[in-house]
Amino acid sequence: MKYVIAPSILSADFTQLGKEIKLTEENGAAYLHFDVMDGMFVPNISFGIPVMKSIKKATGQIMDAHLMVQDPIRYVEAFKDAGADLITVHLEACPDVRKTLVKIKELGLMAGLSICPDTPVEAVREYLEIVDMILVMSVYPGAGGQKFMPEALGRIREIRRMIEESGRDIDIQVDGGIKLDNVREVLEAGANIFVAGSAVFGGDIAENTRRYMEIFREYE
Ligand code: DX5
Ligand code: ZN
């Protein structure tokens, strides 16, 4: 099982973005997480395609686009062209979940499906035959710096069981309130990709990233 830290640039200093991203890449972060918010699916508005386009040139990390966007099928091709390697859409935001996921796969990208804390985990089962990753939100989407919701641990365990039953190799990503002092229990519940915004970009970015990688090495 590969364990990955996916720094969320939502919490970065945008006046130093290229430098800060490089620090995460040089210290082992294989993914870079883009929290795209449209002000409709979530109240906040963050950033979009032009930002991804310019960052793509500055890093070799896997571009992990988390679309907190209403009816995201409208944007999957544009995010592919901007450099996304993985596109995650919200089950709650798709008029046609299957059609959206199939389109992402047809574009040659990895496809992720995310569920909000109030969505029953059973809702993802029928899509396990298509997706490469399930994103379990451990906060209500819309902002960085929130507190981890411990009820996410049981949901991660349930989804890991469903994935094992499916026989497919599917990652579980967790996003929201992931810190150095809770990442072990989230990993032990069955997650393997960890989004962290404030815990990486707050303080010493290189040291924060290195400490996640050290924790993962305890399990490899
Ligand atoms: C919520 C965002 C945040 C962000 C992570 O919509 O998706 O969860 O990525 O922020 P932190 O790591 O600061 O909770
Ligand atoms: Zn996210």
> What is the pLDDT, as a whole number, of residue 1?
85
- 97 close to 113: Cβ distance less than 8 angstroms: yes
Predicted pLDDT at 7 = 98
From 24, 37, 69, 195, the mutation candidate for ligand 1 (largest count of ligand atoms within 8 A of CB) is 195
Is 71 an active-site residue? no
* Residue 197 in contact with ligand 1 by CB distance below 6 A: yes
Q: Is 198 in the pocket of ligand 1 (CB under 6 A)?
A: yes
Q: What pLDDT score was predicted for residue 129?
A: 98
Please state, in angstroms and rounded to a whole number, the distance separating the CA atoms of residues 176 and 145: 8
Beta-sheet strands, E only, within the chain: 4-7, 31-37, 62-68, 86-90, 110-115, 133-137, 171-175, 193-196
| Separation between Cα atoms, residue 152 and residue 103, nearest integer Å | 28
- Selecting among 38, 132, 171, 175, the annotated active-site residue is 175
Residue nearest to atom 1 of ligand 1 (CA): 141
The pLDDT profile of the chain, 220 residues, written as one tens digit per residue, is 899 999 999 999 999 999 999 999 999 999 999 999 999 999 999 999 999 999 999 999 999 999 999 999 999 999 999 999 999 999 999 999 999 999 999 999 999 999 999 999 999 999 999 999 999 999 999 999 999 999 999 999 999 999 999 999 999 999 999 999 999 999 999 999 999 999 999 999 999 999 999 999 999 8
pLDDT at 122: 98
Q: What is the DSSP letter of 40?
A: S
What string of DSSP letters covers 41-65?
A: SSS-B---HHHHHHHHTT--SEEEE
Q: Could you confirm whether 35 is annotated as catalytic?
A: yes
User: Does the predicted TM-score (pTM) go above 0.95?
Assistant: yes
